[in-house]
Amino acid sequence: MLVRPRRLRRTAAIRAMVRETRLSPSMLVYPVFIREGRGVVEDIDSMPGQKRYSPDEFPRALERLSKVGVDNVLLFGLPEHKDEEGSGAHAENGVVQQALREGKKRFPRILFITDVCLCEYTSHGHCGVLKDGAVDNDPTVGILAQTAVSQALAGADVVAPSDMMDGRVGAIRAALDKAGLTDTAILSYAVKYASAFYGPFREAAGSTPAFGDRKGYQMDPHNAREALRETALDVAEGADMVMVKPGLPYLDVLRVVKEASPVPVGAYCVSGEYSMIKAAAMKGWLDEERVVCEAALCLARAGADILITYHAPELAGWIRDGKV
């Protein structure tokens, strides 16, 4: 008698029970742009639906987020004045520092993560200080460490260096410890590619380099094994969590990093990924809810423990409603 190999009958109840991947709102991180000023909430043209908030308006954004169950935010600062050294990044009264104080006071249960980088703060838009027209690694690392300490003192629970300088995780850890900030965690952008998918962000943050590109310090999209080396170095230097960025086009990288990493792994679904979906949805060409749910699911299946996404508020609701 022929024995027909059987597989589970795929009723909705069985599908729900045997899922290999499950999402939770607690894994979501929502990026927020903070700009100088008072009473400002402004649209970001390149990212429909996303806004820039002045520090005093930030608690209102947090209120909306906590209502939908998003408890983790990632802050980016847009200072009024930029200079060669990006000194606004570590100013005691810098935009991010102000927002942290406002937010922390009102929402102590929210997890505050800060992007540690200089590109939003430098007049030339590069992620570090320059020497002979190129980013000078070592002096930059010192400024980044100072920035991380300043953000942690203002209330950051986690600092997330995204500059891609060598040795910055170790320097940040040492500086935090020296300042007594031993509980501040480091989420390293360990695996960050030089990607065209950051296009809408650079408009949002006004951080397009005035000349050249970031290929000298960000990773080459041709390489996947290099991601393992970057991860190993950052973990050795004290990273508590690492991330891969961008998200969807780099699922293979995310998978290998997950397999090799002893620490939790995040995926950053970047501005270009958001705006592509948004634009197609606005045209009626894609079903936004289904596409966002599927993209999030694929990132989690590939290995993401943490998901950083501009769709976090909507996604949290869709997860809760069992849409994914």
Which residues are near ligand PBG by CB under 6 A?
115, 117, 119, 127, 162, 198, 201-202, 270-271
Q: What would the two tokens of residue 136 be? A: 């000078």
CB 127 to ligand PBG: min, Å: 5
Which uninterrupted H or E stretch holds 202? helix 199-205
CB 121 to ligand PBG: min, Å: 10
Number of other CB atoms surrounding residue 220 within 10 Å: 9
192 among known catalytic residues:
yes
Please tell me which residue in 82, 105, 215, 245 is annotated as part of the active site.
Answer: 245
CB 206 to ligand PBG: min, Å: 11
Q: How far is Cα 285 from Cα 50, in angstroms, rounded to an integer?
A: 20
Please tell me which residue in 82, 104, 178, 192 is annotated as part of the active site.
Answer: 192
283 among known catalytic residues:
no
Position of minimal CB gap to ligand PBG: 201
CB 11 to ligand PBG: min, Å: 39
CB 115 to ligand PBG: min, Å: 5
Q: How far is Cα 177 from Cα 180, in angstroms, rounded to an integer?
A: 5
Number of other CB atoms surrounding residue 71 within 10 Å: 18
Residue whose CB is less far from ligand PBG, 57 or 115: 115
Minimal CA–CA distance to 77: which of 210, 206, 195, 187? 206
Residue whose CB is less far from ligand PBG, 48 or 56: 48
Instruction: Let me know the angle formed at the C-alpha of 76 by 75 and 80, rounded to the nearest 5 degrees.
Output: 135
CB 120 to ligand PBG: min, Å: 7
Phi, psi of 170 (to 5 degrees): -60, -40
Q: Coil, strand or helix: which one is 68?
A: helix
Q: Where are the beta strands (DSSP E) in the chain?
A: 28-35, 41-43, 51-53, 72-78, 111-116, 130-131, 134-135, 158-161, 185-192, 241-245, 265-269, 306-309
CB 134 to ligand PBG: min, Å: 16
The dihedral region occupied by 203, where left means phi > 0, alpha psi between -120 and 50, and beta the remainder, is alpha
Phi, psi of 172 (to 5 degrees): -65, -45
Residue whose CB is less far from ligand PBG, 162 or 184: 162
Residue whose CB is less far from ligand PBG, 179 or 298: 298
Cα four-point dihedral sign 12, 16, 18, 20: positive
Residue whose CB is less far from ligand PBG, 53 or 201: 201
Q: What would the two tokens of residue 181 be? A: 């900030």
Q: How far is Cα 282 from Cα 26, in angstroms, rounded to an integer?
A: 28
Residues known to be catalytic? 192, 245
